Amino acid sequence: MARKKHDDGAAAPDTAEEKPVAPVEIKSERAWQAALRPRTFDEYIGQRELIDNLRISVRAARENGWPLDHFLFAGPPGLGKTTLAHVIATELGVNLHVTSGPAIDHKGMLASLLTSLGERDALFIDEIHRLTPIVEENLYPAMEDFKFDLFIGDGPHAKAVTMPLPRFTLLGATTRMGLLSAPLLDRFGFHWQLRYYEPADMTAIVLRSANLIGVPIDADGATEIARRSRGTPRIANRLLRRVRDFAAVKGDGSIRGPIAASALDRLAVDHAGLDALDRAYLSVICERFDGGPVGIEAIAASLSEERGTLEEVVEPFLLQVGFIARTPRGRVATAAGYSHMGLSAPARAPSGGGSQGRLF
């Protein structure tokens, strides 16, 4: 991937005003999300503390010709881990090579990926917690000393060869920080847990995206979409597309508060941003398991849903808004969770809400 370069060899971040995305309709959800992605630190809304830290590290690396430290980003899906990798590579003026833990299924695959990197390039490994132990072990010397140990030939004639690698930056992303081994974690210079975005940042993201696609929107319309997007830009951009369609068919094409609210009601996204699966999850705990505590396997079986989806997607948000709590004996519904479902809570239910409940 060729990039524009400054005289100092660094990328020329696109600081000009953001241009609307192409007027042709974007077909796939993936292309839609990619078109709305911020490309530079200046365009990036939210996660301010992280962005400030990254600006400093990227600037130091650029000014000194160092490779950037290996960075690990953790957090639920849709919060911008992949976007950050693209932004970092753009700001560093290097190529980004994108792969994922499950895609690197043997040592040879890792060797070919690493040897195709250019000096100071960035390698993004999504779902890094899903690397096999063998691949992970071979990644250690690559990360630490920029070298790769290979055996050439078979049996007694096999010869160990150490290949030097370019000085690269590994950008790792995981939805499951707890599944990462300590040795892998130790080799990252920096890890960061991404948080759900603040309401004001979510509103700004919706306004920016609407602007980019050229759809008229007012403050109430943007706030309504933002409020129901569970602090997650990917969800906000997806819902924006649906609301835009609804406004075009049922309204005059512009997104205002009431039309956004009725579009989102029809999509079964409630005023706290919970969708049908979130509500089914809460209902199972409250009604089938009497508020809990109940184990994740029992909930997954009741819903015929993957345990991983519940752990990575559903639970982090319900914990964040205080509708459930985790105890050593399992998940429990809080009083706030019962109340959200229109149910009366038993006296033993923890109150919930708490500091997390203030998010929305």
For ligand ADE, the closer of residues 38 and 231 by Cβ is 38
Residue 214: CB minimum distance to ligand ADE, A:
16
Residue 18: CB minimum distance to ligand ADE, A:
9
Distance CA 286, CA 284 (A): 6
For ligand ADE, the closer of residues 38 and 67 by Cβ is 38
Phi-psi region of 80 (alpha: psi -120 to 50; beta: other; left: phi over 0): left
36 lies in the site for ligand ADE, by CB under 6 A: yes
208 lies in the site for ligand ADE, by CB under 6 A: yes
Q: Is 126 a catalytic residue?
A: yes
Distance CA 199, CA 259 (A): 20
Q: Is 90 a catalytic residue?
A: no
38 lies in the site for ligand ADE, by CB under 6 A: yes
Residue 56: CB minimum distance to ligand ADE, A:
19
Contacts of 66 (CB under 8 A, 6+ apart): 60
**Residue 171: phi, psi to the nearest 5?**
-110, 110
Q: For 229-279, give the DSSP string.
A: TTT-HHHHHHHHHHHHHHHHHHSSS-B-HHHHHHHHHHTT--TTS--HHHH
The count of other CB atoms within 10 Å of the CB of residue 316 is 18
Where does residue 179 rank: exposed (0-12), middle (13-18), buried (19+ CB within 10 A)? exposed
The count of other CB atoms within 10 Å of the CB of residue 76 is 24
CA angle 78, 79, 82 (to 5 degrees): 80
Residue 275: CB minimum distance to ligand ADE, A:
19
CB under 6 A: which stretch of 42-50, 129-137, 157-165, 295-303 binds ligand ADE?
42-50
135 lies in the site for ligand ADE, by CB under 6 A: no
246 lies in the site for ligand ADE, by CB under 6 A: no
Instruction: Choose which of 10, 11, 13, 37 interacts with ligand ADE (CB under 6 A).
Output: 37
Residue 269: CB minimum distance to ligand ADE, A:
18
Tokens of 298: 């029992």
148 lies in the site for ligand ADE, by CB under 6 A: no
Tokens of 194: 């991404």
CA torsion, ordered 109, 173, 238, 213, to nearest 10 deg = -90
| Per-residue binder mask for ligand ADE (CB under 6 A), 150-189, x = binder | ----------------------------------------
Q: Is 14 a catalytic residue?
A: no
Residue 236: CB minimum distance to ligand ADE, A:
7
45 lies in the site for ligand ADE, by CB under 6 A: yes
Distance CA 244, CA 255 (A): 7
Q: Is 234 a catalytic residue?
A: yes
92 lies in the site for ligand ADE, by CB under 6 A: no
Active-site residue, selected from the candidate residues 37, 62, 81, 256: 81
Closest CA to 172 of 138, 122, 118: 122
235 lies in the site for ligand ADE, by CB under 6 A: no
Active-site residue, selected from the candidate residues 169, 175, 232, 334: 175
125-145 CB burial, b ≥16 within 10 A, e <16: bbbbbbbeeebbebbeebbee
Residue 299: CB minimum distance to ligand ADE, A:
30
Q: Is 175 a catalytic residue?
A: yes
**Could you list the active site residues?**
81-82, 126, 175, 234
Contact positions toward ligand ADE, by CB under 6 A? Answer: 36-38, 43-46, 80, 83, 205, 208, 233
